[in-house]
Structure 1
């Protein structure tokens, strides 16, 4: 299916992805303000069925599921977004510097990243969170540091490809500083793959945080988050109830929406490059 936008025929996913992201950002910013009830407010019996007052029913403690979905959006999305931003703030500059400097700084950085990436990220996170606890700063910092190794590797590879181009060689021969090279030559040309990686990293981190919360090591009570809501209400499946499916569906919807936007952005850039060759 497709639709026409300003004379261009676009696939339905081109509209669906941005709509999902817009709705997600709205819930992230205003979810707690529009939630009918508090995230810990008990309003009825456990696992009450959906009604006009509670469209998604009640959870295992008698709390309104719709309200907890609104409250949980801020925590689930906020933790993931903060971790991704920090990982890029660490990995991108270090990757660019390693590519520009070369020599032993590049070799040492690359080998350290290889060592960290040789251990599955889930195992590394479980060890750190078990040792230091699952507070929000520890959770965000742990995920950000682990993800920064992946970002470092991508930024380094992309920067290495840029530094051998003629315009970068000319700038180096002119005696431009490292900061100037990063700001004027490397970063503008590295933005497309980095932006695509940002979207993919967010999806991975979003699912990773939900998985940790499901295991009891992610976002902790009294904060509501979607992964924890799936864990708390999973027993409802045994009784034919749909309570755990609502947060699980929200997790899937956000992930699909971000992936569609990333795919569309990459496809649009490829088409633009083909038209301008």
Structure 2
């Protein structure tokens, strides 16, 4: 892997570790108001300054990683898993099954993602337990379309025809013949879809429809501290840079996966 890919992998692992273990560290939950002034600049006492309530921004960013990374990762895995399973079923089943699944997914695709997210949040609320299925539902159609195009092409290959001729069942063909040969491109698609989910959740939180106080993800941290934008406060810049670094890291990793350029040159 080239150095940009290693850089992306390092940043991604860093944020995953922060999301997993950061909230366990003492004094990083950002809930202690302390004696600090609001929107303090970067200093030795507050490495990223303070927010609109005088809370330490470093602690708030670390605590917010749990929601930004965690919710996005769960929603992405759920969306890609459902989309891939539906694609396998559509490719290995009768044409009418493929048509029903594809037309249903096309109907979902016709609804803009932001509008569907707003409808879901308005109907069921913005609790964390609802944000995961909401984000997953929005990105199932995209995962399905990519997976179906791969599955249909693989299903037409000779070794799949041989397996079907010797009497192998549909489930065997789906899981043993088609799925192993589409794992790599689907993993790359999962990484890109993770970036889309992160940006969607950040957008919802910036509008006040994502993670609700007293908890916060990076998008809501930007919204809460937008009052410091005119003075260039670190309270706005820090969570925005966290979102940017996470999305750039994933893109660097995906674009530099081993063998990816070789396949593209071929």
**Structure 1 residue 35 displacement after superposition:** 5.4
Partners of 2:118 and 2:192 lie apart in 1 by 22
Residue 124, structure 1, aligned to residue 116, structure 2:
yes
Question: Which runs of 5 or more structure 1 residues have no equivalent in the other structure?
Answer: 1-9
Partners of 2:263 and 2:119 lie apart in 1 by 45
Partners of 1:158 and 1:246 lie apart in 2 by 40
**Structure 1 residue 269 displacement after superposition:** 3.2
1:145 maps to 137
Q: Secondary structure at the match of 1:63?
A: coil
Residue 226, structure 1, aligned to residue 218, structure 2:
yes
Check whether the contact 2:160–2:173 (CA below 8 A) recurs between aligned residues: yes
1:157 maps to 149
Partners of 2:113 and 2:97 lie apart in 1 by 24
2:203 maps to 211
Partners of 2:119 and 2:103 lie apart in 1 by 22
Check whether the contact 2:75–2:132 (CA below 8 A) recurs between aligned residues: yes
Between 129-138 and 190-199, report the one with greater CA deviation: 129-138
Deviations 1:117-148 (A, max 9, x none): 01111011111111211111111111111211
Q: What TM-score does the superposition give when structure 2 sets the normalisation length? A: 0.95
2:15 to 17, 24, 32: 24
Judged with a 3 Å threshold, the aligned counterparts in structure 2 of structure 1 residues 186 and 209 are, in CA distance, closer, same or farther, namely: same
1:195 maps to 187
**Structure 1 residue 270 displacement after superposition:** 4.2
Between 37-46 and 128-137, report the one with greater CA deviation: 37-46
Q: What TM-score does the superposition give when structure 1 sets the normalisation length? A: 0.91
Between 215-224 and 73-82, report the one with greater CA deviation: 215-224
Which 4+ stretches in 1 moved above 6 angstroms? none
Over aligned residue pairs, what C-alpha RMSD do you find?
1.6
Higher relative contact order (CA 8 A, sep 6+): 2
1:74 to 62, 66, 70: 66
